[in-house]
Amino acid sequence: MRTSEARMRTVSSPAAMRRLSARWRARGLSVGFVPTMGALHRGHLSLVERARAENDRVVVSVFVNPTQFGPQEDFSRYPRPFRRDASLCRKAGADALYHPAPGVMYPPGFSTFVEIPDLSAPLCGRSRPGHFRGVATVVLKLLNQVSPDRLYLGEKDFQQLTVLRRMVRDLDLPVAVRGCRIHRERDGLAMSSRNAYLTPQERALAPRLRAALGLCAAAARRGSAPAAALGAGRRALRAIPGVRLEYLELVDPETLQPVRRLRGKMRLLTALRIGRTRLIDNIAIKV
Ligand code: PAF
């Protein structure tokens, strides 16, 4: 699939990105796109590798998007190891690294936003108002700039994946969305750029998080009532010292509404804080 263009280009303006993508498309080459905020880990690289396997050209964007952070959130301290990210992208086989500046993405007077209210309000939306509006807006802009055939997103941010699938469907965007499975550390912790914030003591709690989610998922698979399964999971999470549970919910994977009966495909989703770090995770459940 890949031809001789093994050199990765770094592109920083929307116009240059559009030109590059248009050149590829004019030659009949397919384009896969992996949007990221950098601080890349193995989970991101698996998206790049999948895009590499399914497309002729692969674009990775690194852009820490200010509009998806709340005023009290970690925008300014979010890790930005750009040279390391560039080297990882190159090794994973990206053809272009798209790295626009904030002022280019949001010039003075910028005032258009994309809202998907029913999917953005529950779960993470409760504690992060405006977050998915920022995500949807930047991803729509990036899609317009990169014009990919396929968009690769991790299932770890399951609500984000659901919101973006809906945006693509509702706005008839000509891109296929590929959700990719969660990559985990050996002890079960879902890979995330924010794991770097955890102290060694906090990091050591990962197996207990995994066990609590597993307990709840097992109860659901055995056919316990949703309230009983969630009750067991919530108690187990709250019993972990230093953990503040934000939510643990069993939802329909398309509507994100809580399930009343355990039937068919569901998703067990959680968000919690350990010290100053907010973590999210989820498990697919089929009964
Ligand atoms: O998942 C992320 O890293 C971000 O939310 C995304 C999709 C790159 C948009 O900024």
Q: Name the pLDDT band for 3 (thresholds 50, 70, 90).
A: very low
Mutate to test the pocket of ligand 1, among 47, 157, 165, 280 (most ligand atoms within 8 A of CB): 157
Give the domain-ending residue among 180, 215, 246.
180
Atom of ligand 1 nearest to the CA of 65: 10
Asked, for residue 209, whether it belongs to a domain, the answer is yes
Residues with CB under 6 A from ligand 1: 35-37, 65, 68, 135, 138-139, 157, 160
Q: Is the pTM of this model over 0.75?
A: yes
pLDDT at 216 over 80: yes
Catalytic residues: 44
Asked, for residue 239, whether it belongs to a domain, the answer is yes
At residue 2, the pLDDT reads: 54
Token couple for 188:
């079960």
Which structural domain, as residue segments, surrounds residue 169? 9-180
Q: 73 to each of 100, 252, 264, how far by Cα in Å?
A: 22, 28, 36
Backbone angles phi, psi at 62, to 5 degrees: -125, 110
Length of the chain: 287
Q: Which residue's C-alpha comes closest to atom 9 of ligand 1?
A: 135
Q: What percent of the chain has pLDDT over 70?
A: 98
Give the domain-ending residue among 154, 180, 206.
180
Q: Are residues 209 and 170 in the same domain?
A: no
Q: Are residues 26 and 150 in the same domain?
A: yes
HSE (side-chain half, CA atoms, 13 Å) at 85: 23
Q: Are residues 165 and 238 in the same domain?
A: no
SS3 state of residue 66: helix
SS3 state of residue 211: helix
Q: Are residues 244 and 169 in the same domain?
A: no
Within 8 A by CB and 6+ apart from 29, the residues are 56, 57
Query: 128-166: per-residue pLDDT in tens?
Result: 999 999 999 999 999 999 999 999 999 999 999 999 999
- Alpha carbon of 135 to ligand 1 centroid (Å): 6
CB 163 within 8 A of CB 136: yes
